[in-house]
Amino acid sequence: MLTTTASVVAPKVLKELIAAGSVSAARVEPGDKGLLIVVRAGMNERVLGAARGGLRYFQSLDGAASVLQGYGIMKFDVNTEHWVPKTMVRGYKQAPASVDADE
């Protein structure tokens, strides 16, 4: 889950960090209002901010992956624990039970 020490990084600054080779890892994880992108730059973790301030939230993995790929980041980790996609049935608050592929 998101560390409390992670600072917000503006999209322009993130582009500069990536161009300088400072970003070593990225991940997508749940936040209060959706999914967040967290990058590791040096020893620090930074959360992608919105262009006009605040955090940038994503409502789908597809949206977050698209943004990461736009920055040239093709490999990243994903943690969807405690995140319920909007496409799930309303009121369903946990992941479905595993389905055996042989059935």
Q: What is the pLDDT of residues 3-31, one digit of tens each?
A: 455 799 999 999 999 999 999 999 999 99
Residue 99 lies in a domain: no
Domain with residue 65: its CATH number is 3.30.720
Is pLDDT above 80 for 70? yes
Beta carbons within 8 Å of 5's beta carbon, 6+ residues apart: 44, 45
Residue 89 lies in a domain: no
Beta carbons within 8 Å of 87's beta carbon, 6+ residues apart: none
Total-model pTM: 0.80
Residue 42 lies in a domain: yes
Which token pair is 102? 């042989």
Q: Give 92's pLDDT tier (boundaries 50, 70, 90).
A: low
Residue 35 lies in a domain: yes
pLDDT in tens, 24-56: 999 999 999 999 999 999 999 999 999 998 999
Beta carbons within 8 Å of 23's beta carbon, 6+ residues apart: 14, 17, 39, 40, 41, 73
Is pLDDT above 60 for 98? no
- Number of domains, the chain: 1
Task: DSSP for 1-28, please give it.
Answer: ---TTPEEE-HHHHHHHHHTT-EEEEEE
* Domain span holding position 18: 7-78
Residue 47 lies in a domain: yes
Residue with tokens 């959706």: 34
Q: Are residues 67 and 48 in contact, defined by beta-carbon separation less than 8 angstroms?
A: yes
